[in-house]
Chains A and B, each alone.
Chain A
């Protein structure tokens, strides 16, 4: 069965500093990987996705993620964060087979707190 582990439940960081949010997954088949962001009292928005091809994926708001198949990781990075990046971030995986790629398994989330 698939699972997703987000290694940090909270990440505090100062404004303009770089940040990395870590995500590891387990799956026995090829996977599709996603990062979503949730702002307070809102639903989730897609930041970026890896389906195939280049292992470095660029998303919205200056975020990027790198797919590493050998380490089964999909870490999210941003070189310089802003106060407005304060939110909860979710990593998700689907295998594209059991119910289609939309059947997502989510990690527990990482709360990013950006301080001035």
Chain B
């Protein structure tokens, strides 16, 4: 049971290049999300998914695309990288997207450190 796996761990891109950050979980979790972490700003939600085929925007979706074709995978795409997208990206998952109080903790990956020159 690997939990949430993010690849790559580090990446350097040039402005305008495209890239896909991979996220996979092996816990059969419904809910998956992407955050970016910037100094002094905490984590901000980019996109999230409540199940296969269903995605929605978070706080800072511009410049990023996502898809959820399977329960396990939730890739994040940068179509044309910009220096403002230099950040640490975290993928997270949890068992249920249920709105009730029976919350399950979110499991976070170890992050992808992305630098855009």
State the Cβ distance, A79 to closest chain B Cβ, in Å: 24
Chain A: interface residue total (CB-CB under 8 A):
28
Complex: chain A residue closest to B109, CB-CB = A43
Chain B 91-104 near chain A by CB (<8 Å), digits 1 or 0: 01010011111010
Q: Chain B: which residue is nearest A91 at the CB level? A: B42
Please state if B42 and A51 are interface contacts (CB–CB under 8 Å): no
Inter-chain contact B103/A9, CB cutoff 8 Å: no
* Chain A residues touching B, majority SS: loop
Partner of B42, one of A42, A100, A109: A109
Given A41-B110, A43-B109, A97-B99 in contact, is the A103-B90 Cβ separation under 8 Å? no
A residues sitting closer than 8 Å to B (CB atoms) are 4, 6, 9, 32, 41-46, 49, 51-52, 90, 92, 96-97, 99-109
Which residues of B line the A interface, CB within 8 A?
4, 31, 33, 35, 40-45, 48, 50, 56, 58-59, 90, 92, 94, 97-101, 103, 105-106, 108-111
